[in-house]
């Protein structure tokens, strides 16, 4: 039984995907606005949920293709019903078993990588899906430095791969990325941890 898939299928039906979009929009868009996207780029969102980031990226004139994948069938159904552009593509698949021959300029993931335990296998697959000099933007609120979220695994009753900020960077480095980290805070949020710690973004650039 795949507890992750079942959980996200349930969340998609209950409206939780829209709640996740609302909770993450501010910090994710703040982060994405800090990125200078090059001309004619391709984009992949791993664990795309209802496709809200894919829809945002497809609005860029120089975005050739914006793709989202998710192991939850119901999340992909939601994404397809919200599709706004012919540049958007959604697939029901698990990243580890996905047999895709193309390469991407940018890959994004928000709150999904740590569901793969351990994360290294998934990260290596993402590395292979990037073009030379391509970038992987990985956002997470679940990291050891952020004490408020470390209980999530017990609450959800799902194994999650918990790492510290330095351990995240080390993992990216060892995979072959040139790595940077950035914490994007939400100073007006009612939750203290969002104001003080915020979302950790790990930015990995694939070396040529």
Lowest model confidence (mean pLDDT) among 15-19, 156-160, 175-179: 15-19
Tens-digit pLDDT profile for residues 44-101: 999 999 999 999 999 999 999 999 999 999 999 999 999 999 999 999 999 999 999 9
Segment 6-53, tens digit of pLDDT: 999 999 999 988 988 998 999 999 999 999 997 899 999 999 999 999
Tens of pLDDT along 178-197?
Answer: 999 999 999 998 999 999 99
| Residue 203: half-sphere exposure toward Cβ, Cα within 13 Å | 10
- For 88-146, what is each residue's pLDDT tens digit? 999 999 999 999 999 999 999 999 999 999 999 999 999 999 999 999 999 999 999 99
Q: Which of 73, 80, 90, 93 is nearest to 7 (CA)?
A: 73
CA distances from 80 to 10, 54, 76, 182 (A): 17, 11, 6, 31
Domains along the sequence of the chain with CATH: 3-96+103-206 (3.40.50.150)
Q: Is the pTM of this model over 0.75?
A: yes
């Amino acid at each position: 039984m795949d507890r992750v898939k079942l959980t996200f299928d349930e969340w998609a039906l209950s409206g939780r995907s829209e709640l996740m979009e609302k909770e993450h929009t501010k910090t994710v868009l703040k982060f994405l606005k800090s990125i200078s996207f090059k001309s004619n780029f391709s984009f992949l969102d791993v664990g795309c949920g209802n496709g809200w980031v894919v829809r945002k990226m497809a609005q860029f004139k120089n975005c050739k293709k914006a793709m989202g994948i998710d192991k939850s069938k119901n999340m992909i159904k939601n994404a397809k019903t919200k599709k706004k552009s012919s540049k958007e593509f959604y697939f029901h698949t698990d990243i580890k078993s996905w047999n895709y021959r193309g390469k991407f300029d940018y890959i994004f993931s928000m709150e999904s990588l740590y569901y793969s335990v351990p994360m290294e296998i998934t990260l290596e697959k993402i590395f292979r899906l990037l073009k030379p000099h391509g970038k992987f933007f990985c956002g997470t609120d679940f990291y050891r430095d952020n004490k408020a979220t470390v209980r999530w695994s017990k609450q959800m009753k799902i194994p999650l791969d918990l790492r510290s900020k330095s351990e995240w960077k080390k993992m990216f480095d060892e995979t072959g990325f040139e790595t940077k980290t950035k914490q994007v805070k939400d100073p007006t949020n009612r939750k203290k941890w969002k104001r003080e710690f915020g979302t950790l973004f790990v930015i990995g650039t694939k070396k040529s």
